[in-house]
Structure 1
Amino acid sequence: MSLSYHILNGDMLRQQFPKNISGETIICREALVDGEVNAGSLDELFKSRAAYLSQYEGTNTDYYKDVVPEFQKIINIPEHAEVNLWFEFDLFCQVNLWFVISLLKNQHINLVLPQSEQGFGIMNEKELRVAFECKKGLSQSQLIALKELWPAYQSNNLSKIEELAARQRNAFPFLLKAAKANERVLNGDLRNTIKQILAQTNPADFNEVFRQFCRQEPTFGFGDLQVKRIYDEFISNR
């Protein structure tokens, strides 16, 4: 019987993960959608990410204790093992997925997808079990295309990301939405959206700005830390 691994995007999913699904769980604790990711090696990337994320207030993550060891577990997954990738449709999750896939080799890789764009968070154990039973195995051509997304993202190659996403639109239509959302981040449209919400919120309460942002822009999947950084920039420049 082959070994089975489940790579989960975040600790929240691990807390609700069905106990009757066997296999080792590995947690992706990154936010690669936010900050610099272009690096010549994994060691350089980890060093850069650790320095960047340490600037965040309100995060207690020790990068080399909590994040890197999980990625090392992914790198060490044996060939021909079954790997199940539990990632949602939004840009935040997709960028993490692209990186994780870049670390995998000759395993049997499946995507486990939520029932809706609202993600895994609203699903109970029974629904998560059904999602697992409906997992989608990646063909070799699909895997090759998905592996190319990470280097394209690292170099801000928008045309390449869109080309790869369009190539897989029939199997994975959410990739094009993520590609468009990434373009909006780089062209400043995301910042303009937050600025507009902030202008309409009186007083300038962050919690309300964040709630409105999540309602208006679910495709990004940003957490409060990512939105707070942009919010703080606008507040400090008032």
Structure 2
Amino acid sequence: MGTNSLAPQHHILNGDALKDHFPDELTGEVIVLREALVEGSVSGKYPDGFFTTRALHISDNYPDTTAGGYRHKSALEIQKIGTIPAGSEVNLWFEDDLFCQVNFWFSVWLLQHYGKSNPLFLIRPGEQSPYSFAALDQKTLMNAFHQRKPIQSPGEIAALWELYKAGKPKELHAQAANLQSQYPFILSAVEAHLDRFPVKGGPGRPERSLLRIMDELQTREFGPVFREFTRREAIYGFGDLQVKALYDKLLASS
């Protein structure tokens, strides 16, 4: 996709880490999706019920964030998506891992919710670093921007969020399979999500992986376990807080 368009640009970023080294030569308003929708309840009608649910989850699980802090830093930022003007192109910067993908689906759903019909483009970090924009310098980020792909079927992407939110794993998998020719990375993320569910009463894939790592490394020290988990299970995109929650539950039950 060429980038010679004279249309104004809006950029929806997957987090503040990308914002901190966003290419200086790119113009347009930046909106940061400060969320972790891959974890916790996502119930409640948008906006009020949804943000109440998320504020409760975040304040309970992120020690540095209060419910009020969530509303100020995250909810208000998310609602900026509803103010994007009709003439602007919208660039969605999201990685291929499950954490980013759930936020990506939500972002596209939100644009649909607000009745936006702007041209949408997906920007991914590329095959050399599919799960991390952080590894890219400004030149490589600009290359990623130049390779942006138009999103031709936003309603089908939005449907992924609706199925995820509704807790319909079979339908979610079917929808991802339908999109495989256009977005093959989505199916991998969805299958990783489905692997999170317990199997025959046993733990899900992330917990099994943590147990295997602790056994192989012969340690329960979180640091080395976390580093190895992020290497083996990069598809999840979990940060230290998500992994620590799983880790603590495993230790408490052992």
TM-score relative to the length of structure 1? 0.94
Structure 1 unmatched runs, 5+: none
The percent of aligned pairs where both chains have the same amino acid is: 37
Match of residue 179 from structure 1: 190
Please state whether the residue corresponding to 1:186 is helix, strand or coil.
Answer: coil
Once the two structures are TM-superposed, the CA of residue 194 in structure 1 deviates from its matched residue by 1.8
CA contact (8 A) 1:198 1:209 kept: yes
Residue 128 (structure 1) aligned with residue 141 (structure 2): yes
1:113-139: per-residue Cα shift (whole Å, max 9, x none)? 112224211111001001101110111
**What is the rounded CA distance, in whole Å, between the counterparts of 2:87 and 2:197 in structure 1?**
37
**What is the rounded CA distance, in whole Å, between the counterparts of 1:158 and 1:237 in structure 2?**
27
Please state whether the residue corresponding to 1:21 is helix, strand or coil.
Answer: coil
The residue correspondences of 1:51-66 to structure 2 (distance < 5 A) are 51-60=56-65, 62-66=69-73
Match of residue 196 from structure 1: 212
**What is the rounded CA distance, in whole Å, between the counterparts of 1:201 and 1:44 in structure 2?**
43
The residue correspondences of 1:78-227 to structure 2 (distance < 5 A) are 78-104=85-111, 105-116=116-127, 117-139=130-152, 142-187=153-198, 188-227=204-243
Please state whether the residue corresponding to 1:111 is helix, strand or coil.
Answer: strand
Match of residue 230 from structure 1: 246
**What is the rounded CA distance, in whole Å, between the counterparts of 1:9 and 1:134 in structure 2?**
18
Please state whether the residue corresponding to 1:79 is helix, strand or coil.
Answer: coil
**What is the rounded CA distance, in whole Å, between the counterparts of 1:72 and 1:134 in structure 2?**
28
**What is the rounded CA distance, in whole Å, between the counterparts of 1:3 and 1:69 in structure 2?**
22
Amino acid at match of 2:46: S
Please state whether the residue corresponding to 1:160 is helix, strand or coil.
Answer: helix
TM-score relative to the length of structure 2? 0.88
